[in-house]
Amino acid sequence: MAFSPYQDSYQCIPCGLECDRATYTKPGQCPHCQMQLVKKSTVTFRTIQPSEVCGYISKHPGVVLLDVRTTAEFDGKTDNYGTLKNAINIPIQELEGRYLELNEFKDKEIIVYCSHSRRSPRASYFLTTKGFANVVNMEGGMRVMTDNSCKK
């Protein structure tokens, strides 16, 4: 059976690796990262580059910032990437059990970030599956962010 552009295509749950761009014709498991394959149409979050974040925040002061790194990373105890001012820290490992803490922001824009953009795409996808409609993933993570004007 030939692949039709009208049938569902699948991709891995976003993991921040190159395999996020690969598409498949049926569900299963990504052969590269072993993440579950999901309908491509369910991956609805947008991306923003680290170089754009501080300027964007200054023009959109109501944006919510969600840091999904560990508490030690967020506090600067394990790396020196810094963190964004006014960010909320919910580590990816705790997000499934704590995402209801973000319910008051369900209709707001949320920028999700981590250190290398491996955890934030997963968190962004997770939030969209829970009804958060305006989720943005910071591609590349804090390690490549050079503008310090919006960091603590």
Q: Which amino acid is at 105?
A: F
Give bridge partners of residue 66 from the DSSP assignment: 88, 112
- Classify each residue of 27-44 as buried b or exposed e, where b means 16 or more C-beta atoms within 10 Å of its C-beta: eeebeebebebbeeeebe
Domain locations along the chain: 10-41, 46-144
Taking only the tens of pLDDT, the chain with its 152 residues reads 444 454 689 999 999 999 999 999 999 999 999 999 999 999 999 999 999 999 999 999 999 999 999 999 999 999 889 999 999 999 999 999 999 999 999 999 999 999 999 999 999 999 999 999 999 999 999 999 999 999 99
Task: Kindly report the backbone phi and psi dihedral angles of residue 7, in degrees, each rounded to the nearest multiple of 5, phi listed first.
Answer: -85, 160
Multiple choice CATH, 46-144, 3.40.250.10, 3.40.50.300, 3.30.1330.10, 3.40.309.10: 3.40.250.10
Say what the pTM is: 0.91
